[in-house]
Amino acid sequence: MSEETSKLPKDIAAAEGKVNVQINGTWYQFPRGMRIIDACKSVGVHVPTFCYHPKLAIAGSCRMCLVEQGMPPRLAPGQAPSYDAQGYQHIQWMPRPIIACANTVCENMGIKTNSPLAEEVRAGVLEFLLANHPLDCPICDQAGECKLQEFSNDYGKLKGRYTESKTKKGKNLSVGPNINLDQERCVLCGRCIRFMRDIAKDPVLSFSQRGTHNAVTIYPGRELDHPYSMNVVDLCPVGALTSKDFRFKMRVWFLKETKSIDVNCGTGTNITIWSREEQVYRLTPRQNDEVNSCWMPDEHRLNYRFINSPQRIPQPVIRTDINAPHRASTWEPSFSALAEAIKRVPADQIAIIASGRMTNEELYMTRLLAEQIGTKHVDIVSRVKESDGMLISADRNPNTTGAQVILGLENPGSQLEMIRDGVQRGKIKAILCLGEDLTSPEAGFKAQDFENLNYLFVMDHTASDTARAADLVLPGVSFAEKFGTMINVTGRIQRLNKAIEPIGYAKDDWTILQSITKALGSNSPAMNAVSSMDILSLIGQEYAALENINWGRVGDCGLQVLETGVTIPLIEQEKNPQG
């Protein structure tokens, strides 16, 4: 036997800074100092928890994660430890369970999550939690995604023995502009308190009273009005903190979840779109430790109503005579009318104003369109404001980086001034406006500027002043209705997924651009693309920065493709809490 194999497991593990732990009868190695709960999770052993959250400080208050634990017996003075055939010491099980979240693994430790003791203590903890619970699941918005419901089903006794009357606490209390509190439903896990204290840095929540009257309370005279306050709704494992916006809108079990990204700023927060029957009901953050951790700003979370708003443009609209009102049209005649109109204007008098809110695929089609027309006047509207020092990036366009790469813009937004000037001096006679309202303060056009134009084409999903002035409006779709990719401020390419079908007769923006370019006589390979995934593969062949990119490689959590040097403050803070 070589020296290597005669070593005990503990020495082999110790050499790598690891320890041996037995979980439910199987031996594993974990890094020294790992929490028992993380260790169990990493090998697929589920431990139920309420108060534990990987991004928050440990509280150990809910006791839900109790497990049975054992260690080798303590040796008498002079006694040598004995090892079994595999080289492990005998485990002596402790009579009392320990909580898995606040204890770390150590050498030769044993954990049982399915022993009679562990099962009994879990059922006991649940019985205590339910003793004063109002059991109003039929009216509770959390029903269906409630940890208390799930755990009592999986581990509880299903029958209460508590016959005394329950303690009364506050119900349906408004604690902030977006949040309602129900103290009776609360399991006192304190996740919300720790989030507000450690992450939002606005400690307005706390426990008050004692015993069964113990309840989460808001500081007198204050409101839970932090710009990130709605994350406590996601954190709350039960229905104690609920969203006013989502209140009684729809039961969660009807909603379809679609992984996507937030398009309100350059961070590209990973989100889940919750929809039912072509209607979006809510957005929630999705964990991505490189982009948004587990959080999302309220402002972006609540910005989804435009998707199903009556302001959406349902079908193509055309103006056939100057000053005539718009009338509804269909797709094919609109494309040929547009192609004719473009051909009538000399190429250098046409400007294309694209948008930093377009996906890479749409920007690529825009580039092809510009090349087909032969114009150099292509730019996007830039939106730079102030960053909030957490997740909202200074760049309020979600895909400025993409526009820089795909359209080859050095300085996005710098040509806009020139185009505006050209329009005013009559040098530019036609504008193709893609997904922007030119009368918005960022774009800076005036309504009378449009009078100088011979032709104004707008592709957008929602009615705007620019669309009202346009000769032809083709309805595109919002972020929830399309597939595509965007590159965030840090240079990470991420995917948008389609949650609902386009509203009315609207079409996916990239297909509109494809049809226009085709009508102008292009025969680029992109004219044969049938999905935005095809376009992404074409992009991967053409751009060095995005070499070999394709839909599968981007994945649900995105792929770092560029080094822009920009960072996301909240993520930096999470990575070096001291700095």
Partner 1 sequence: MAFKTIKRPKISIGERFYLKALLGGLVITMKHLVLSIIGKSRSKKELGGSGIGVTMQYPEYRWDKHLPEYYRGYPVLVKGEDGRERCVSCQLCEFICPARAITIKPGEVPADSQWNKVEKAPVEFEIDMLRCIYCGMCQEACPEQAIFMSQGYLLTPTDKKAGVHNKAKLYELGGTKQGLVNKWNAYK
> Which residues form the interface with partner 1 (CB under 8 A)?
137-139, 143, 165, 171-172, 247-251, 253-254
CB 352, min distance to partner 1, A: 44
Question: For residues 492 and 561, is the Cβ–Cβ distance under 8 A?
Answer: yes
Which residue, 7 or 251, is less far from partner 1 as judged by CB? 251
CB 139, min distance to partner 1, A: 4
CB 143, min distance to partner 1, A: 8
Alpha carbons 46 and 38: distance in angstroms, whole number:
10
Which residue, 34 or 137, is less far from partner 1 as judged by CB? 137
CB 248, min distance to partner 1, A: 5
Which residue, 86 or 165, is less far from partner 1 as judged by CB? 165
Structural tokens at position 23? 């979980």
Alpha carbons 409 and 419: distance in angstroms, whole number:
15
Question: For residues 281 and 303, is the Cβ–Cβ distance under 8 A?
Answer: no
> Would strands 18-23 and 26-31 be described as parallel, antiparallel, or unpaired?
antiparallel
Which residue, 279 or 303, is less far from partner 1 as judged by CB? 279
CB 302, min distance to partner 1, A: 18
Which residue, 75 or 135, is less far from partner 1 as judged by CB? 135
Which residue, 246 or 450, is less far from partner 1 as judged by CB? 246
CB 172, min distance to partner 1, A: 6
CB 250, min distance to partner 1, A: 8
Q: Is the dihedral of CA 540, 546, 548, 551 positive or negative?
A: negative
Rg over CA atoms, the chain: 30
DSSP state, residue 280: E
Q: Which residues does 25 contact at the CB level (< 8 Å), separation at least 6?
A: none
CB 185, min distance to partner 1, A: 12
Query: What are the angstrom distances between the C-alpha of 78 and each of 73, 74, 81, 82, 83?
Result: 14, 11, 10, 13, 16
Which residue, 143 or 527, is less far from partner 1 as judged by CB? 143
Which residue, 282 or 429, is less far from partner 1 as judged by CB? 282
Which stretches does DSSP call E strand in 293-370? Answer: 317-318, 327-328, 350-355
CB 279, min distance to partner 1, A: 12
Q: Which residue, chain included where needed, has tokens 């203590």?
A: 121
How many DSSP H helices and E strands does the chain contain? 16, 24
Which residue, 244 or 326, is less far from partner 1 as judged by CB? 244
Which residue, 174 or 320, is less far from partner 1 as judged by CB? 174
Q: Which residue, chain included where needed, has tokens 């705007």?
A: 464
Query: What are the angstrom distances between the C-alpha of 99 and each of 94, 185, 194, 228, 378?
Result: 13, 23, 19, 30, 61
CB 132, min distance to partner 1, A: 12
Q: Which residues does 32 contact at the CB level (< 8 Å), separation at least 6?
A: 17, 18, 19, 104, 105, 106
Query: What are the angstrom distances between the C-alpha of 83 and each of 16, 20, 324, 473?
Result: 21, 14, 93, 80
